[in-house]
Amino acid sequence: MAISKERLEKIAGNIGNARILILGDIMLDEYLYGTVSRISPEAPVPVVEISEEQLRLGGAANVANNVAALGDKPILLGTVGEDDASIKLSQLLKSRGIDRDFLINDKKRRTTIKTRIIAHSQQVVRADREDAVEISDDIERIIFDRFKSVIDDIKAVIISDYGKGLITESLLNKVIPACREKGIFIGVDPKESHFFNYKKVSVVTPNHHEAGFVAGRRIRTENDLKDVGKTLLEKLQSESVLITRGEKGMTLFTAAGEVAHVPTVARKVYDVTGAGDTVIASFVTSIAAGASLVEATIISNCAAGKVVGEIGTATVSVKDLKEEIRRFTAEH
């Protein structure tokens, strides 16, 4: 891949002029930090003495946070409950400069909360509070009406599917054709159970476990990888498939027959929480800034290498991104 540092930095510098709609499952991430010095006498589990609490944006809200951190204008569309968690989430969005006008309050659903307990830089346990059932027809109608109200003002759509019920087949059957008619780029961070509902999108970004599972073939070798990538492209009829491979980097498959391997730039991996959110956000913002599919892959790989070095969900700024690009081009 003969792509120069100057070209990649130019693309990164162009990020910040697009409105990007994020449609997906919105969550509140709660982090409890502490230390362990003893085992509970009640059960063979560690006792974590909590010293710090943090609330962060999760799920589709973290994707929006990543888009905002890079300088683009996110429009976050999804549901929350009518509860304290939705109020806290709205406050977090406001603090990040993200509009909450497209959040739909659903009286029948709780706001999803994921609570992680961290001790000595390691996650000890996670507890989820959620109602992971499909949204009602009425809520789906409201979601699509809100989507249509901004379709002429957006450069791209990111579908952030965590399997919590917002992304229904019927909603996709309306959103995807509407985007294609307008020439709007569609990026999808998929859920295995819905995988083949994302037909004719611009890019799908499964990790290698997800990709192998839905293709019915475990990825052990490079030939396995190529077969899986080809299978997914054909079944999805998509413009591209980007398979993230952990310490092996990423591989892009395009409908034009291009296969591009991008090695990882991560030097330390503390936590992969939210890494997929960063990949899809940086990929789509790069496309909106004029990148090719291969260029967007390199840039999103650089962004992911940065966030996995942080504990919990993290974001990347354009400054961070340029530093990672310089490091990547120096190494490769």
- The position carrying tokens 């999808």 is 188
Of residues 161, 189, 277, 320, which has the active-site annotation?
A: 277
Concatenating the DSSP letter of every residue in 1-39 gives ----HHHHHHHHHH-SS-EEEEEE-EEEEEEEEEEEEEE
Instruction: Decide: helix, strand or coil at residue 308.
Output: coil
Is there a catalytic annotation at residue 138?
Answer: no
3-state secondary structure of 257: coil
Residue 66: closest CA among 293, 312, 285: 285
The DSSP secondary structure of 168-228, one letter per residue, reads: -HHHHHHHHHHHHHHT-EEEEE--GGGGGG-TT-SEE--BHHHHHHHHTS---SHHHHHHH
Contact (CB, 8 A) for 287 and 191: no
Round to whole Å and give the CA distance between 305 and 275.
9
Euclidean distance between CA atoms 296 and 305, whole angstroms: 14
- Residue among 236, 230, 231, 209 at smallest CA distance from 220: 209
Active site residues: 277
